[in-house]
Amino acid sequence: MGIRIEKIDLPGIGVRHDLVTEHGRRISVVSHRDGERDLGVFDEDDPDACRNSVPLNDEEAAALADVLGASVMLSRLTSLSDETAGLYTEQIALPTDSPFLNRTLGDTKARTRTHASIVAIVRDGQVIPSPTPAESLRAGDVIVAVGTREGLDGVSRLLANGPD
């Protein structure tokens, strides 16, 4: 069946976008004319009956979008490395005694030094996709990097010991 998105105009209310999964489940986002939005989950047996509705404010909607977007990005990176010989994705815990702790990602010069790319930082259960060189590295960060086996080993050594 595949995945599809349906748009339904709701006169006087706004618009509803339904995501219909490949298994036929229906999840919707109702965008009200006044800017409010609701996330809806529909009954499996009756696709017209909304089983549960959750109102989301702007911050909640943005956080949900970030979580979904980041998890999709990590999944795609992982599947890319599965399909590409010699390319790997790795999660590297920032050592508690790293010389780069509380310094910027740019200070590592990781791509130049190792030929591997840092594509995300996982911090406090949240993913920071495509971090900029100005992003500070903090205790507890997990670095997501993509590169060759040699490059990823280099990133691990760099984060642990600093530049050679």
Residue 160: partners with Cβ closer than 8 Å, 6 or more residues away: 95, 98
Mean pLDDT of residues grouped by 10 in the chain (164 residues)?
Answer: 78 88 85 90 81 88 73 59 68 93 96 93 87 94 90 94 88
For Cα atoms 2, 87, 66, give the angle at the middle one, nearest 5 degrees: 50
The 3-state DSSP composition of the chain as helix, strand, coil percent (nearest 5) reads: 30, 35, 35
For Cα atoms 58, 60, 64, give the angle at the middle one, nearest 5 degrees: 115
Residues 132, 70 contacting (CB under 8 angstroms): no
Domains, the chain, with CATH or none: 4-56 (no CATH), 73-161 (3.30.70.1450)
pLDDT for position 136: 96
Sheet hosting strand 142-147, strand order edge to edge: 88-93, 142-147, 117-123, 126-129
pLDDT for position 158: 96
pLDDT for position 134: 95
